[in-house]
Amino acid sequence: MSRRTLQVLLYLLGGIFLLLSGVTVLMIFNAFNPLTLAFITSFTIENKLREPIYISPMGISEGSRQRRLLPQYWWPLPAIPAFQWGNFQIDSGKTRTFYFDWDDINFSEIYIKTGQWQKIFIVDPEADTKDCCWEPLVKSFIIEDTTPLSNPTREMIEAARRVWPWRLILFTAMGFISPPMVVVVFSKIQANRNCKLRRIE
């Protein structure tokens, strides 16, 4: 590969990584964006069963009207997205707090799984028919022996399996990788330029 071709490729890579660095700026902005923060709410689930449970909160999305897991956040301010949206373990006697964005989803059910069974707790029985989207009125749930549970539908079981938001993970990875890659690539471009100048001299 000629030096000129290498220089062109480096400029091309630098431009690509420079554009992708915009993802980093977008992530930082979104973490403090009032329009994002306004739609983040929380709820708690307490496990009063005598065994651990694995839960996957889900809802009905605005556009497709299909069930999917609630978009989770690690923390509400700054708004830091979580990379796991389901299959959260809650040990016996423990309570866990969840943060999620209700902007385009109605919280409808909590999918609950143990080593022996899988059930759902219905959060909003009208979620299938009401317009999107509403902040949940009830924000504290207790799972115990007397809690009314139902059998999940196939759609709910499929939704509960989509634990990892891969697009979000890829988006975030690009945001972290791009800025240092911009520095590396343009440092290489500068080094090649200096090398060319020394040869001319």
Is residue 105's pLDDT more than 70? yes
Give residue 195's pLDDT band: very low, low, confident or very high (50, 70, 90): low
Lowest-confidence region among 12-16, 71-75, 193-197: 193-197
pLDDT in tens, 26-41: 778 888 989 889 999 9
pLDDT in tens, 145-186: 999 999 999 999 999 999 988 777 777 777 777 777 777 777
Q: What is the mean pLDDT of residues 95-109?
A: 94
Predicted local confidence at residue 139, as pLDDT: 94
Lowest-confidence region among 50-54, 85-89, 121-125, 191-195: 191-195
Predicted local confidence at residue 8, as pLDDT: 67
| DSSP track, 134-200 | ---S--EEEE-TTS--BPPPHHHHHHHH--S-HHHHHHHHHHHHHHHHHHHHHHHHHHHHHHHHHHH
Predicted local confidence at residue 184, as pLDDT: 75
pLDDT in tens, 121-145: 999 988 888 888 888 889 999 999 9
Q: Interhelix angle for 3-32 vs 166-200, to 10°? A: 140
pLDDT in tens, 70-98: 999 998 888 989 999 999 999 999 999 99
Residues 6+ apart with CB under 8 A from 90: 45, 46, 47, 52, 53, 54, 55, 96, 143
Q: Which of 4-18, 39-53, 153-167 has the highest mean pLDDT?
A: 39-53
